[in-house]
Amino acid sequence: MPAPRVPVELREVAEPALAPGSVLLRTLYSEVCGTDVHVWHGRLSGVPYPIIPGHVSVGVADKVCGDVHGVDGARVAEGDRLVFFDVHRTCGRCRACTVTRTPTRCEARRVYGITDSADDGLFGGWSEAIYLEPGVSIAKLPDGVPAETYISGGCGLITAVHAVDRAVLTLGDTVLVQGTGAVGLSVIALARLAGATRVIAFGAPADRLALATRMGADVVVDVGRSTPAARHEMVRDLTGGLGVDVAIEAAGSARAVEEALNLVRDGGRYVIAGHYTDAGPSTINVHEQINRKHLEVRGCWGSEVGHFVRALRLLERHHAEVPWRAIGAKTYTLADLNQALADAEAMRLPKALVQPR
């Protein structure tokens, strides 16, 4: 991706020299997510174009230099199917890393596919090979989990693990999920696994709502074919007039935030995970919508290694019954990446997969 708002182009680069502790990964799959579309539009600050996009990927260890161990301590060998955590550096010394323990807010945070220039090496998944530098959190893809399933869950699943953590669900909760993109779809499935007995999903278009039902939503509502007033009425009816226990936002809409604050019950919780770029201001009445309701509102920014590791465990245990694979609806080659971006932007599919070879 040479610059914002210009076509993606193919470039040949030399195979990198491997430092001790690094791995050269032969890419099996990467993905096109909402963040890639934002980066393509130039809406994320500090991106050092040209970049190789693709922050979550899966591959096979082609070359392993020296002694490399995965996050579980097991030795990594050539031929292993590997996945890795996309945040490859945080400083470990700043206030965010040490005092407030919010490493996703570390200023020195480096993320594959987003914060590294293509001039610095193979730091993105839209490439036949990826350089896993020393210190990257690597894991073997669990036996039995197809690479296609891992990447179809992809970054959305890892983000969803964090969002559902932040929601602190209680057995028997009614949960509202706003947004039926890759994050929202995984949130639906994880809310179910976390003990929600009723999941309501607001989203669009129709094919994503059908997938939301397959992921575990009990009630789906097309936001393009309903009014906020009608949705308010429906949630009241479903919850005996109380509102939902927890709402999780994965829509990236300022209006969605205004709406959810009316739909969560007194003393409930609202997690906001979908505003990765600035969607503009929301207008709320703090007295009515937060203070008097004794509401808890939580942001959720990025993810940590633990979310990645637990996403793998969830995939290992549940990949057969949760249809994560269906999220990655279509696979594109490197030659088709401009079409993949256009299709992702137009929301023609929940997620585009990238198969570089």
Binding-site ranges for Zn ion (CB under 5 A): 33, 35, 90-91, 94, 97, 106, 155
- Residue 86 Cβ, how far from Zn ion at the closest point, in Å? 8
- Residue 116 Cβ, how far from Zn ion at the closest point, in Å? 15
- Residue 357 Cβ, how far from Zn ion at the closest point, in Å? 21
- Residue 95 Cβ, how far from Zn ion at the closest point, in Å? 8
Separation of alpha carbons 91 and 107, rounded Å: 8
- Nearer to Zn ion by C-beta: 97 or 271? 97
DSSP annotation string for 193-224: HTT-SEEEEEE-SHHHHHHHHHHT-SEEEEGG
Structure-block tokens of residue 198: 């009723």
| DSSP-assigned letter for residue 69 | B
- Nearer to Zn ion by C-beta: 90 or 262? 90
- Nearer to Zn ion by C-beta: 106 or 341? 106
- Nearer to Zn ion by C-beta: 98 or 170? 98
Q: Which residues of 64-97 are buried (b: 16+ CB within 10 A; e: fewer)?
A: beeebebbeeeebeeebbbbbbbbbebeeebebb
- Residue 33 Cβ, how far from Zn ion at the closest point, in Å? 3
The CA angle 216-315-297, to the nearest 5 degrees, is 60
Structural contact between residues 263 and 235, judged by C-beta atoms closer than 8 angstroms: yes
Q: Please report, in angstroms and rounded to a whole number, the separation of the first and last CA atoms in the chain.
A: 18
Separation of alpha carbons 266 and 131, rounded Å: 49
- Nearer to Zn ion by C-beta: 111 or 246? 111
- Nearer to Zn ion by C-beta: 235 or 271? 271
Structural contact between residues 333 and 355, judged by C-beta atoms closer than 8 angstroms: yes
Separation of alpha carbons 221 and 200, rounded Å: 8
- Residue 290 Cβ, how far from Zn ion at the closest point, in Å? 29
- Nearer to Zn ion by C-beta: 33 or 167? 33
Place of tokens 């579980």: 72
Separation of alpha carbons 301 and 340, rounded Å: 26
- Nearer to Zn ion by C-beta: 155 or 221? 155
Phi and psi at residue 167, to the nearest 5° = -80, -20
- Residue 272 Cβ, how far from Zn ion at the closest point, in Å? 17
- Nearer to Zn ion by C-beta: 31 or 173? 31
Cis peptide bond N-terminal to 2, omega within 30: no
- Residue 60 Cβ, how far from Zn ion at the closest point, in Å? 22
Separation of alpha carbons 246 and 142, rounded Å: 32
- Residue 350 Cβ, how far from Zn ion at the closest point, in Å? 13
Phi and psi at residue 147, to the nearest 5° = -60, -35
